[in-house]
């Protein structure tokens, strides 16, 4: 989990920047809209919607925005239909990259994503070309909240978590799909503040990248993440510690 953990440090910093410029809200609204459209507008009977709402509230999204997104998805208000797609490709140095998008125009988005891969030294792949290199996992991040690593370890292991990483100001917990909700619920029941909880693609094996290659991979990932239709980007790049410090 070390490579993913390094990248999550950058992601956490970037999420804070995205929140300041409103980009984070756009991603969260799309997730709420898709979840409500597919599973209904009642979060009690729609786990994905409940999770999306919880993440939106954690990001301080106003309740009116959340309600409006749900109503647009269920047809109470006129709204846009978003399609979920996953693109696969390779970055500089043969790094595997998965790109999750939510778009109202598939042709536009695939053209833009393909252009970004090409522009930054990568290439789009066929469906299934790199997905086999990743596992679907639950990732939960939360502030330290004056808890010791041992205290948090006891809570998450009892709930069924796979791994815990401790940083200076936050914890990152990894679970399998089956135990994602039980672990999240256990943290909520303990009164702990969850920063984000989501299902993510985690690389089975990380590839060490450094120097110029690492910088090129990072530029590609950042360019993809800056695209308005892109929700998430995952890779198997294990970045050099110095580069992580520069970005964080």
Q: What is the CATH number of the domain that holds 39?
A: 1.10.10.200
Strand duo 96-103 + 134-143: pairing: unpaired
Q: Is residue 189 part of a domain?
A: no
Q: Is residue 232 part of a domain?
A: no
Contact yes or no for 195/183 (Cβ under 8 A): no
Ranges of residues in the chain with a pLDDT under 50 are 1-3, 248
Contact yes or no for 176/137 (Cβ under 8 A): yes
Q: Is residue 121 part of a domain?
A: no
pTM of the predicted structure, to 2 decimals: 0.88
Domain total in the chain: 1
Q: Is residue 223 part of a domain?
A: no
pLDDT tens digits for range 22-39: 788 999 999 999 999 999
Q: Given the structure tokens 């693609």, which residue do they identify?
A: 201
Going by the DSSP 8-state scheme, the letter that residue 166 receives in this structure is E
Q: Is residue 195 part of a domain?
A: no
Q: Is residue 85 part of a domain?
A: no
For 196, list phi and psi in degrees, rounded to 5: -160, 140
Q: Which of 181, 218, 215 is nearest to 51 (CA)?
A: 181
Q: Is residue 192 part of a domain?
A: no
pLDDT tens digits for range 115-144: 999 999 999 999 999 999 999 999 999 998
What is the residue range of 32's domain?
Answer: 2-74
């Amino acid at each position: 989990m070390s490579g993913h953990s390094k990248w999550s440090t950058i992601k956490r910093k970037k999420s804070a920047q995205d929140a300041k410029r409103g980009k984070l809200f756009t991603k969260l609204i799309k997730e709420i809209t898709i979840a409500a459209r597919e599973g209904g507008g009642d979060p009690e009977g729609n786990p994905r919607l409940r999770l999306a709402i919880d993440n939106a509230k954690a990001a301080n999204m106003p309740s009116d925005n959340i309600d409006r997104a749900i109503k647009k998805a269920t047809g109470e208000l006129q709204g846009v239909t978003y399609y979920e797609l996953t693109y696969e490709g390779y970055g500089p140095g043969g790094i595997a990259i998965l790109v999750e998008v939510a778009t109202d125009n598939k042709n536009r988005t695939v053209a833009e994503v393909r252009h970004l891969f090409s522009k930054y030294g990568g290439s789009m792949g066929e469906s299934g070309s790199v997905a086999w290199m990743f596992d679907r996992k639950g990732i939960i991040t939360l502030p330290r909240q004056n808890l010791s690593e041992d205290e948090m370890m006891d809570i998450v292991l009892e709930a069924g978590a796979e791994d815990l990483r401790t940083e200076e100001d936050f914890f990152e917990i990894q679970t399998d799909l089956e135990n994602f909700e039980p672990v999240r619920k256990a943290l909520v029941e303990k009164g702990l503040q969850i920063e984000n909880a989501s299902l993510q693609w985690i690389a089975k094996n990380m590839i060490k990248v450094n120097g110029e290659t690492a910088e090129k991979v990072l530029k590609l990932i950042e360019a993809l993440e800056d695209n308005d239709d892109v929700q998430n980007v995952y890779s198997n790049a294990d970045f050099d510690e110095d580069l992580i410090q520069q970005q964080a």
